[in-house]
Structure 1
Amino acid sequence: MIKVLVPFDFSQTANYALNFATGLSSNYPNIEVTVLHVIETPVATGMGTMGGGLESIPEFENQIFFMELVEARKKQLKKIEEGYNEEAYKVKTKMILGSVFKGISEYINDQDPDLIVMGSKGASGLEEIIVGSNTEKVVRNAKCPVITIKAETEVSKMKKVVFASDFRDSSDEIANRIKRIQSVFDAQFYFVVVNTPGNFETTRESMNRIRAFAQKHHFENIKAEVYNSLSEESGIIEFADDVDADLIAMTTHGRTGLLHLITGSIAEDVVNHSKRPVWTYKTK
């Protein structure tokens, strides 16, 4: 059984992600989709929101509101289970209390899904630099592949996939992951290296590395490309636009802490700014 996790916040992009996840049943036999909703637990401040003291918003009113929210979410999740009822897949729902990212992370560690499909609105400006979105954090930390969705996406129409890499890591694990995408979507694959002014190399060098990777792992139906751009992130997005790709595939090193603040992540930048679905996998 293929286990797919869909973190769900009842937004439109979350619905897109759920539709995409259940749509994978046309390619994956015996698929189980878990819709996970995390309700943020209220933090008692001892003050009203307008600074009016303890009497402004009594604590019991907050508790009543929270309990009503929990009950409303339970009914909404039940409705999802009833609405997505097909023989080709199974949908179950789960609701937990706590912080969103922590709740999702703990569920991933406990249940070990094969794939995460997650809606994303992206992040920009100060939020992107300092905090990042929950989607971005999941991409950075998840042990399994993550597909981020920003618009309604039909699985059956995903026929062009861009795999962006420097192709210096030729591990069997990465190759097998990419082959699995290729078989699931039966898609034309573009293997692309983005050449930038700050990290320039000749086209011959890049093409030789792509060909060596493809030959070592016996890839077929591959187009090798070198694309020039001012940055790797913009080059990947621009190339995907130019070939009208249906999916961008990338690996990420999942850097955290100070190293992440200093070096950033090309994959997370692409997830934030691409309008297309993005498949990411954290390498070891």
Structure 2
Amino acid sequence: MISVFVPFDFSQTAHYALNFATGLAGNYPKISITVFHVIEVPVASGMSTMGGGLDPMPDFENQIFFMELIETRKKQLRELEETYHNSNFEFSTKLILGNVFKGISEAIQEAKPDLVVMGSKGASGLEEVIIGSNTEKIVRTAPCPVITIKGETQVQDMKKVVFASDFRDSDDEVAARIKRIQSVFDAQFYFVVINTPGNFETTRDSMARIRTFVQKHKFDNIKAEIYNSLTEESGIIEFAEDIDADLIAMTTHGRTGLLHLITGSIAEDVVNHSKRPVWTFKTK
């Protein structure tokens, strides 16, 4: 049984993600989908009367609104369950109160799904520099693969998949993940190395690494490509646009704290800025 986890905020992009997740049922013989919604607990704008922090729901009107919101969300989740009651896959919903990022992260850690599918609007400008998007943070920390969806995406229409890497680390787990993606989509796979001015190398050297990776792990139906661009992030997005790819697959190092602020993450940047779905998985 393949378990798929869909963080859901009732936005349009969340519905796109859910549609994609349910579409996977045609590719997996047995699949269970869990829709997970987090309601943020409102807090007061001032300090608490005891000086210890923020007061949750300081006035009666806010409490009434909050309780009504909970009941509305429960009803909407029940309606989703009814919609997919007779589907050829297992479907369930879950509702919790708390911080969105923390709630989703803890639910993923507890449920240990095989895949997370979530909608994303991305983040840009000051928001991206300071906090990033919730999706970006889930991509960074989730122990399982994450697919980010930004528009209506049909699983059966996945015909071109880009796997961007430097292919320097011939990791068995990475190869297994890519083969798993190959088993899901009947698509042409493009293995691409992005050549940048600050990290230039010859096409011969890049192609040799791709061939070594392909041969070692016995990949089939692969096209090897070298693409020149100013940065790795822009090169991956531009290459995917040039070939009209349906999905970008990447690894992320999952660094947090100061190390993440210093080094950043190409995968998370691509998740934020690509209009295409991005499949990311954290490497050790």
What's the TM-score, normalizing by structure 1? 0.95
- In structure 1, the residue corresponding to 2:43 is in which secondary structure? coil
Name the structure 2 match of 1:38: 38
Give per-residue Cα distances to partners, 1:59-99, cap 9 Å, x unaligned.
11111111010000000000111112343212110000000
Q: Is the 8 A contact 1:29 1:88 kept in 2?
A: no
- Using the alignment, how far apart are the partners of 1:146 and 1:179 within structure 2? 16
Name the structure 2 match of 1:90: 90
The question of 1:198 aligning with 2:164 is answered no
Name the structure 2 match of 1:239: 239
Matches within 5 A, 1:43-192: 43-45=43-45, 59-192=59-192
- Equivalent AA in structure 2 for residue 259 of structure 1: L
- Equivalent AA in structure 1 for residue 144 of structure 2: C
Give per-residue Cα distances to partners, 1:175-214, cap 9 Å, x unaligned.
0110010111021000000000001111011000000000
Name the structure 2 match of 1:53: none
- Equivalent AA in structure 2 for residue 183 of structure 1: S
- Equivalent AA in structure 1 for residue 140 of structure 2: R
**Percent of pairs identical after alignment?**
79
Q: Is the 8 A contact 2:197 2:230 kept in 1?
A: yes
The question of 1:263 aligning with 2:263 is answered yes
Cα drift, residue 45 of structure 1:
3.8
Distance change >3 Å, CA 180–CA 281, structure 1 → 2:
same
- Using the alignment, how far apart are the partners of 1:160 and 1:182 within structure 2? 11
Give per-residue Cα distances to partners, 1:136-156, cap 9 Å, x unaligned.
000000000000000000000
- In structure 1, the residue corresponding to 2:35 is in which secondary structure? strand
Distance change >3 Å, CA 172–CA 20, structure 1 → 2:
same
Q: Is the 8 A contact 2:2 2:32 kept in 1?
A: yes
Cα RMSD of the aligned pairs, angstroms, is: 1.2
- Deviating 4+ runs (over 6 angstroms): none
Name the structure 2 match of 1:210: 210
- Using the alignment, how far apart are the partners of 1:209 and 1:113 within structure 2? 32
Segments of 5+ residues of structure 1 without an aligned counterpart are: 48-56
- Using the alignment, how far apart are the partners of 1:237 and 1:133 within structure 2? 19
How many residues matched? 275
Name the structure 2 match of 1:224: 224
Give per-residue Cα distances to partners, 1:110-155, cap 9 Å, x unaligned.
1100000000000000110110110000000000000000000000
- Using the alignment, how far apart are the partners of 1:86 and 1:167 within structure 2? 44
- Using the alignment, how far apart are the partners of 1:58 and 1:21 within structure 2? 39
Q: Is the 8 A contact 2:44 2:58 kept in 1?
A: no
- Using the alignment, how far apart are the partners of 1:23 and 1:270 within structure 2? 24
- Using the alignment, how far apart are the partners of 1:90 and 1:142 within structure 2? 22
- Equivalent AA in structure 2 for residue 31 of structure 1: I
Name the structure 2 match of 1:54: none
Q: Is the 8 A contact 2:158 2:247 kept in 1?
A: yes
Name the structure 2 match of 1:248: 248
- Using the alignment, how far apart are the partners of 2:120 and 2:131 within structure 1? 15
- In structure 2, the residue corresponding to 1:92 is in which secondary structure? strand
- Using the alignment, how far apart are the partners of 1:26 and 1:168 within structure 2? 35
